[in-house]
C-alpha cells in the first residue's frame, strides 16, 4: 500500500496497518473540519457586509430560501457634475434604508459646498450652448429619453420599491406618471410659441418670445422618487435651461438612474447635474445667485422656508406642500364604486401621497356605509412591496411610523372613535419593517391634531355632515387646498360643489384628481406657494421669461426730422 509522503516516516518505524488506517481517517476528518472552517469564514465575510439569508415559507408551506446579497458591497451614490458621475469627497454619508427590511441599500453623501458650486458652475457653463441648441434637437432628446424609460421601467420600479417601499405595481405607476411629463415635453416647440402682431403702428411689428431663465434647480421629496424629478428637469431643460437636482436623501437611486438615461439619450454634459445632501444643500440652492428658479415638493415647513429664503434672493419658486384632501359622499352615490375609490385613494402607497384621500365626509344617510368601508379596508394585504399581491407596503422610516402612531393616538385621546387600528400589524418575514395597516378614525372634529396635520400614512378620517353646504364649509375652513372630491349621481350637487369648494384640483366621482400634464398641477391655499404651478402651460411659463420685440424697418427715403413727442399709433 502506498502512503502519502507525510506518512513515510511512520512506516520506517514499523507502524501497523491499523494505526496507519486510523491516522488516514483522522486526516480525512481534519480535512472536513478545515472545509467547514473555510465555509464559516466565508459566511462571516458575507455577514460583515450585511448579506442576509432568510428562510421563509410561501403560502403553501413549501420552504423557500431568499439569499439577499444586495449589500455585499455597500454602494455609495455618486453626484453627477458636468456629465460625470463622481464619488463625493465628503466624510459624511447617510444610509439609504429599505423600509421593509431595514437593510442598508446604499449610502448617500452630504455633499460638500465645493461640490455644489462645481455642479452650478457646470450648469452655468453648459447654458449658452444649450439655450441655442435648436428646440427640435432638444425635443429629440426627450423622445429618446421616454423610449429609454420604457425600456428600463422594471429596473426603475424595483429601485423605487427597494428604497421607498411602495408596491412594484405602484412603483411602475410612479415612473409612468413621470414619463407622461417627458412625453409632454416632446411637444415643447408648440408649447413655447409666442405671439405676433403685424403693423401695430406705421411699419412697426411687435412679437413676443419665450426664453429660458438659465440655471434652475429642483428639490425632491421621498414619496415619488421617479415622478417628481420627471415633473421638474424634462420641462426645464427642453425649455433651454440647465438644471441642478437634489434628490431626497431617503431614496436617491431613481434620480441617478434617470440621469443615466438622460445622458444616454443625448443630453449634453452639464445640462443636468445632481448633488446629494440635506438642509445645507437646500440653503445653498436658495442662496446661490446663479440659480434663477427653484421647484420644490415636500412638507410645509420646508416649503415655506425655501419659498421665503429663495424669493428674498429674487428667485422664482414653485413650492408644492402639504395637503388634507377631502371627499364628500352623497347618499345618492354608487355604493360599491364609491367605497372602492375611498379605499384605494386613502390607503394606496400607504397614504404617502400629497393627493392621498385623508378625510371622507359622509352626508346624511351615507354614514351607514362606514361598516362596509371598514370591511374593505380590512381585506387589504400589507407586505413588502416586492411580494406578490401586496396592496400596501411600509412607510418610509421608523420616524414616520412613530409620528403616524402619535397622531392616531392623539385623535383617540381627543375623542375620536378608532374603527380600525393597523398600528400593531406584524408582517411575517419582515418583522422589522415600518408597516402600518389601514386605520380608520371616526367622529373627527376640526380641532383635533390628527385633522389639522397631514398624517401622511394609511389613516382615513371619517366625518359627518347633514347637508352638502355643511360638508363644503368643512373643506373650505381647512387650511390646505390641494384637492377635493365628491361622489354623487346628481349633476346639480356636482356643479354646486365644483363652483363653491376651495381646492385647486376637484374630482367628480374621481378620488385623486391629479391632471395629466397637458393641464397643470394646481394646488392652492396652504398647499402651494408661488405664482406658477407644475407642468402644463404653467410649468412652461415658470421655466421661461417673456421677451417682447418691437421692430421697424425704414426705407432710405424716410424723413430725417427728429420727433420728440411720445410715439403713438395715431397720425396727427
Task: Kindly state the greatest CA–CA separation across the chain.
Answer: 137
Backbone angles phi, psi at 81, to 5 degrees: -135, 120
The Cβ-side half-sphere exposure at 15, using a 13 Å CA radius, reads: 15
Q: How far apart (Å, rounded) are the C-alpha atoms in residues 376 and 116?
A: 49
Catalytic residue among 220, 239, 354, 450: 354
Closest CA to 212 of 233, 197, 186, 196: 233
Q: How far apart (Å, rounded) are the C-alpha atoms in residues 201 and 186?
A: 37
The alpha carbon of residue 226 and the mean position of all alpha carbons in its chain are separated, in whole angstroms, by 5
Residue 253 and residue 229 in contact, taking contact as beta carbons nearer than 8 Å: no
Backbone angles phi, psi at 23, to 5 degrees: -65, -35
Which residues lie below 8 Å from residue 495, measured CB to CB, with a gap of 6+?
A: none
Q: How far apart (Å, rounded) are the C-alpha atoms in residues 349 and 161?
A: 11
Q: How far apart (Å, rounded) are the C-alpha atoms in residues 259 and 277?
A: 17
Termini Cα distance of the chain: 130
Residue 44 known to be catalytic: no
Q: How far apart (Å, rounded) are the C-alpha atoms in residues 41 and 490?
A: 71
* Block residue for cell numbers 364628500: 328
Beta-bridge partners for 552? 204
Q: How far apart (Å, rounded) are the C-alpha atoms in residues 122 and 454?
A: 38
Let me know the angle formed at the C-alpha of 341 by 327 and 390, rounded to the nearest 5 degrees: 130
Beta-bridge partners for 205? 551
Q: How far apart (Å, rounded) are the C-alpha atoms in residues 247 and 221?
A: 7
Residue 395 and residue 350 in contact, taking contact as beta carbons nearer than 8 Å: yes
Backbone angles phi, psi at 31, to 5 degrees: -65, -45
Q: How far apart (Å, rounded) are the C-alpha atoms in residues 539 and 435?
A: 36
* Block residue for cell numbers 460583515: 48
Q: How far apart (Å, rounded) are the C-alpha atoms in residues 86 and 464?
A: 55
DSSP code for 453: S
C-alpha cell at 507: 374630482
Q: How far apart (Å, rounded) are the C-alpha atoms in residues 437 and 419?
A: 13
Catalytic residues: 354
Amino acid at each position: 500500500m502506498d502512503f502519502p509522503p507525510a506518512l513515510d516516516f511512520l512506516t520506517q518505524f514499523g507502524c501497523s496497518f491499523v494505526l496507519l488506517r486510523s491516522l488516514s481517517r483522522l486526516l480525512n476528518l481534519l480535512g472536513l473540519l478545515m472545509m467547514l472552517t473555510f465555509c464559516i469564514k466565508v459566511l462571516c465575510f458575507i455577514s460583515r457586509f450585511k448579506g442576509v439569508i432568510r428562510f421563509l415559507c410561501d403560502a403553501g408551506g413549501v420552504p423557500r430560501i431568499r439569499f439577499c446579497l444586495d449589500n455585499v458591497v455597500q454602494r455609495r451614490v455618486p453626484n453627477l457634475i458636468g456629465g460625470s458621475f463622481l464619488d463625493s469627497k465628503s466624510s459624511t454619508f447617510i444610509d439609504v434604508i429599505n423600509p421593509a427590511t431595514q437593510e442598508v441599500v446604499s449610502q448617500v453623501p452630504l455633499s460638500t459646498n465645493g461640490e455644489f458650486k462645481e455642479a452650478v458652475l457646470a450648469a452655468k457653463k453648459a447654458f449658452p450652448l444649450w439655450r441655442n441648441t435648436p428646440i427640435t434637437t432638444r425635443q429629440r432628446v426627450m423622445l429618446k429619453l421616454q423610449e429609454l424609460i420604457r425600456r428600463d421601467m422594471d429596473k426603475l420600479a424595483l429601485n423605487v420599491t427597494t428604497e421607498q417601499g411602495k408596491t412594484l405595481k405602484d412603483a411602475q405607476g410612479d415612473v409612468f406618471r413621470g414619463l407622461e411629463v417627458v412625453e409632454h415635453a416632446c411637444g415643447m416647440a408648440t408649447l413655447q410659441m409666442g405671439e405676433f402682431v403685424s403693423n401695430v403702428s406705421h411699419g412697426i411689428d411687435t412679437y413676443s418670445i419665450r426664453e429660458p431663465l438659465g440655471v434652475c434647480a429642483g428639490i425632491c421629496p421621498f414619496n415619488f422618487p421617479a415622478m417628481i424629478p420627471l415633473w421638474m428637469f424634462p420641462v426645464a431643460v427642453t425649455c433651454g435651461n440647465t438644471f441642478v437636482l437634489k434628490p431626497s436623501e431617503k431614496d436617491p437611486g431613481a434620480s441617478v438612474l434617470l440621469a443615466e438615461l438622460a445622458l444616454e439619450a443625448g443630453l449634453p454634459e452639464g445640462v443636468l447635474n445632481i448633488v446629494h445632501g440635506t438642509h445645507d444643500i437646500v440653503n445653498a440652492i436658495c442662496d446661490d445667485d446663479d440659480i434663477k428658479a427653484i421647484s420644490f415638493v415636500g412638507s410645509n415647513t420646508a416649503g415655506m422656508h425655501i419659498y421665503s429664503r429663495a424669493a428674498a434672493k429674487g428667485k422664482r419658486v414653485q413650492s408644492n406642500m402639504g395637503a388634507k384632501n377631502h371627499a364628500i359622499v352623497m347618499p345618492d352615490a354608487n355604493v360599491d364604486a364609491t367605497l372602492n375609490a375611498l379605499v384605494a385613494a386613502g390607503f394606496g402607497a400607504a397614504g404617502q401621497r400629497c393627493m392621498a384621500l385623508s378625510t371622507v365626509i359622509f352626508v346624511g344617510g351615507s354614514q351607514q356605509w362606514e361598516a362596509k368601508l371598514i370591511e374593505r379596508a380590512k381585506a387589504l394585504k400589507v407586505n413588502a412591496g416586492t411580494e406578490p399581491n401586496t396592496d400596501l407596503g411600509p412607510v418610509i422610516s421608523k420616524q414616520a411610523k412613530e409620528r403616524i402612531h402619535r397622531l392616531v393616538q392623539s385623535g383617540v385621546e381627543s375623542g375620536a372613535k378608532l374603527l380600525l387600528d393597523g398600528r400593531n400589524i406584524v408582517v411575517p418575514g419582515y418583522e422589522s419593517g415600518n408597516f402600518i395597516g389601514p386605520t380608520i378614525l371616526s367622529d373627527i372634529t376640526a380641532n383635533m391634531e390628527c385633522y389639522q396635520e397631514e398624517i401622511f400614512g394609511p389613516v382615513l378620517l371619517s366625518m359627518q355632515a347633514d347637508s352638502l353646504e355643511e360638508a363644503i364649509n368643512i373643506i373650505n375652513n381647512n387650511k390646505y387646498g390641494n384637492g377635493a372630491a365628491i361622489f354623487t349621481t346628481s349633476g346639480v350637487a356636482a356643479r354646486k360643489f365644483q363652483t363653491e369648494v376651495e381646492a385647486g384640483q376637484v374630482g367628480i366621482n374621481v378620488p385623486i384628481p391629479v391632471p395629466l400634464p397637458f393641464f397643470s398641477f394646481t394646488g392652492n391655499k396652504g398647499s402651494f406657494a408661488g405664482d406658477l404651478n407644475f407642468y402644463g402651460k404653467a410649468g412652461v411659463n415658470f421655466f421661461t421669461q417673456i421677451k417682447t420685440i418691437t421692430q421697424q424697418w425704414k426705407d432710405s427715403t424716410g424723413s430725417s426730422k427728429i420727433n420728440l413727442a411720445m410715439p403713438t399709433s395715431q397720425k396727427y
